[in-house]
Structure 1
Amino acid sequence: MSQSTAPAPWRDLTDPRRAVTVEDLEAGLKEPVFENLEIPEQLGPVTITVDDHKIKRFSFTQDDYGSWYLEGCPAFGGARIGQPALLGNDLVQLFTTRYGASKTVGFHTEEQMWFDNPVRLGERVTLSGTYVDAYERRGQGYVVMEAQAVGEDGRSIVRHRGVEILRTVPGLIAGRGASPTPERRVTGEVPADARQIEAATADTREGDVLLPLRKIFTAEQTAVFSRIGEFVRNTHNDLQIARAAKLPTLIVQGQQQYGAAAELMARVFGLAWFTGGWLKMKFINTLQVFDPVEFSGVVTSVTKEADGRRAIELDVWARRESDGRMTAVGWASCALP
């Protein structure tokens, strides 16, 4: 008689296989409204496995089929690693361990991640977070989450800090502009004669402009990224909900745009991005599915650190091709090895 083995752990925050025996997959979860927040409030922990499917699914949703992710990374003995922002949405979605995801019509206003180490294929990762602050501004209720993904050996993979309007009408608030912050204003404007670069090198200088990364996020990519496979309904995968939110069609999740910006940074900095990159973005306009968008940036500072490395800072942005308006603005930094 063959010996039975336990099934492998599922790879997502919510196991869609529960639908076979559970009528309401969100039973017992809180209504996602500002009044139900507890500060501080623990979210998770949960453990996921970074398997082949998870990496390939992210490749599909981001249209990012880099060889390090699908074939192997020479710097790690040929082992495959995950894309830099692979775990970003898992961290954002930690709130759905306590709140009903399909009852949320929110707006992700700000995302910030610190990249400490690459995640490896087959690795079990623990995700945990906390709602650390909540406030009201311009008639909207905001909540701040801090979270982290930790590898099975205890090393930090990525750290996250995000700001979200928990429930709103996205079609009415999009385009109002980011809230005042002390950061440098990002205009997305560059001189016509600026030098265009694809990767940061020893001669990178202030004023260099990044070769744009062009994306078209399809409805299928956006729906998969936004958890349609786990039966979660939202403005990214359900037209009825999008229309109720005063949107003409599905919109691309801010975190999905963030993943493309992180892809651009990995192209610019290589492996250094996975072990010391920082990227903060604010989402200021909606991006509809199938609307072409370009991600780019400009070098704003090049300094020499105490250990001799060259630290590079940039302004970054995402710009819709349809009307030239920016959908996201941000700031990034990384030191060359």
Structure 2
Amino acid sequence: MTTELFDRKEVYVGRDFGGVTCDVTPDLVATYIAGTGDDNPWYRGNSPLGGPIAPALILHSAVYHTLAWYLPNIYGNLHARQEWDMFAPVMFGERLTTRSVIIDRYLKRDREYVVNEVLVGNASGQIVSRSRTHQSFLLPEQAKEGFVVDRAREKDSSRSFKIGERGGDPIGSPMRTITEAMCMAFSGPARNYHNDRQKAVELGFPEIVVQGMLSVCLVAEMMTRRFGLGFLYGGKMDLRLVNVLWGNDVTGPKGLIVERRREGIRSRAEVEVWCDKADGTKTVVGSASAIEL
């Protein structure tokens, strides 16, 4: 059914942007490993389910299969928040189908936000994951010359975030350098501000802006290694991307299990999570959880 209430280019709540169909192949997983550094043995066949399991966020960028949901002014746009719910593992050889719809649009300070929800289903019709991407755009009156965000911004006292101070059982993952080759594998092959410095400058940034979803994948890697199938079946993340991760920065995820609560016959571990740069600057803060099996 068509409607004449909205212009065909308008980004409105409820607008459906369709989706893509994708086969989970060894090449797809190899590209994921090259882009993230996450080389879990389960991806190569030694898994509790008897065959290779795909990374939890194997379709991390399905939301970006089209940018028609972006607002017109893309100068200085930023990935601001990412929510994710895992419902079932994905095995090699499965065929996945996505569906993308705008579920919210709101104003906050000097930016306008659009929220795009993506459902991922398998060939049997089962929903295996749901994600909600909050993308922020400068308001027209906030347009200015020069860099929208530079390296000095993250040193401002207002960009300091208190997390990980409650105490609890620590979890973590090794720090790694996010190389330009990783950026190309994760955000390529087309050149854009996530893998090419000149493209970044054109959009108001001094260096390559590492795609925010890469840090989200690092948190998912940490949760998978700590909780295994308990994260792939029913895991959750709600993350705010608070400082820019630049190309060639060193970063890594950390977490603290701060609470355990009953869920059916099992318990759910609630985790404070964040990503640090080598100098302690936090780029991601938020929460995650998983079932303890």
Report the equivalent of 1:316: 273
Q: Are residues 99 and 209 of structure 1, via their aligned partners in 2, closer, same or farther at CA, if it must alter by over 3 Å?
A: closer
Report the equivalent of 2:149: 171
Deviation at residue 167 of structure 1 after TM alignment:
5.8
Contact 1:105 1:235 in 2 (8 A): no
For each residue in 1:291-334, what CA deviation from the matched residue of structure 2 results, as whole angstroms up to 9, or x when unmatched? 11121011111123342x1221011000111x311001010111
In the aligned structure 2, how far is the partner of 1:303 from the partner of 1:270?
18
- Aligned partner (choices 49, 54, 60) of residue 76 of structure 1: 49
Deviation at residue 54 of structure 1 after TM alignment:
0.4
- Aligned partner (choices 87, 99, 111) of residue 59 of structure 2: 87
- Aligned partner (choices 202, 216, 230) of residue 244 of structure 1: 202
SS in 2 for 1:272: helix
Deviation at residue 98 of structure 1 after TM alignment:
6.1
Deviation at residue 145 of structure 1 after TM alignment:
1.1
For each residue in 1:197-250, what CA deviation from the matched residue of structure 2 results, as whole angstroms up to 9, or x when unmatched? xxxxxxxxx711113432211111112211x22x2x422112112123343211
Report the equivalent of 1:217: 178
Amino acid of the structure 2 residue aligned with 1:85? L
Report the equivalent of 1:336: 292
Alignment of 1:23-42 (within 5 A): 36-42=10-16
SS in 1 for 2:163: coil
Alignment of 1:119-158 (within 5 A): 119-158=90-129
In the aligned structure 2, how far is the partner of 1:106 from the partner of 1:264?
28
In the aligned structure 1, how far is the partner of 2:69 from the partner of 2:113?
17
2:244 counterpart of 1:286: yes
Amino acid of the structure 2 residue aligned with 1:76? L
In the aligned structure 1, how far is the partner of 2:69 from the partner of 2:288?
31
Q: Are residues 143 and 329 of structure 1, via their aligned partners in 2, closer, same or farther at CA, if it must alter by over 3 Å?
A: same
- Aligned partner (choices 204, 207, 215) of residue 257 of structure 1: 215
SS in 1 for 2:227: helix
Deviation at residue 178 of structure 1 after TM alignment:
9.8
Amino acid of the structure 1 residue aligned with 2:93? G
Deviation at residue 38 of structure 1 after TM alignment:
2.6
In the aligned structure 1, how far is the partner of 2:96 from the partner of 2:19?
10
Structure 1 segments of 4+ aligned residues over 4 angstroms from their partners: 97-101, 166-170, 172-179
Mark the runs of 5 or more structure 1 residues left unpaired by the alignment: 1-34, 180-184, 192-205
2:162 counterpart of 1:162: no
Q: Are residues 284 and 263 of structure 1, via their aligned partners in 2, closer, same or farther at CA, if it must alter by over 3 Å?
A: same
Give the aligned length: 275
User: What's the RMSD between the two structures over aligned residues?
Assistant: 2.8
Amino acid of the structure 2 residue aligned with 1:187? K
Contact 1:94 1:128 in 2 (8 A): no
For each residue in 1:18-64, what CA deviation from the matched residue of structure 2 results, as whole angstroms up to 9, or x when unmatched? xxxxxxxxxxxxxxxxx842322101122111111101100111111
Alignment of 1:92-103 (within 5 A): 92-96=63-67
Q: Are residues 189 and 68 of structure 1, via their aligned partners in 2, closer, same or farther at CA, if it must alter by over 3 Å?
A: closer
Which has the larger displacement, 233-242 or 206-215? 206-215
Amino acid of the structure 2 residue aligned with 1:43? F
Q: Are residues 38 and 178 of structure 1, via their aligned partners in 2, closer, same or farther at CA, if it must alter by over 3 Å?
A: farther
In the aligned structure 2, how far is the partner of 1:241 from the partner of 1:118?
36
TM-score by length of 2: 0.84
Contact 1:213 1:264 in 2 (8 A): no
In the aligned structure 2, how far is the partner of 1:170 from the partner of 1:266?
35
Identical positions, percent: 25
TM-score by length of 1: 0.74
Amino acid of the structure 2 residue aligned with 1:213? P
Higher Rg: 1
In the aligned structure 2, how far is the partner of 1:162 from the partner of 1:186?
21
2:229 counterpart of 1:271: yes
Contact 1:261 1:295 in 2 (8 A): yes
2:18 counterpart of 1:61: no
Contact 2:105 2:114 in 1 (8 A): yes
Q: Are residues 61 and 299 of structure 1, via their aligned partners in 2, closer, same or farther at CA, if it must alter by over 3 Å?
A: same
Report the equivalent of 1:106: 77
SS in 2 for 1:225: helix
Amino acid of the structure 2 residue aligned with 1:40? G
In the aligned structure 2, how far is the partner of 1:128 from the partner of 1:329?
27
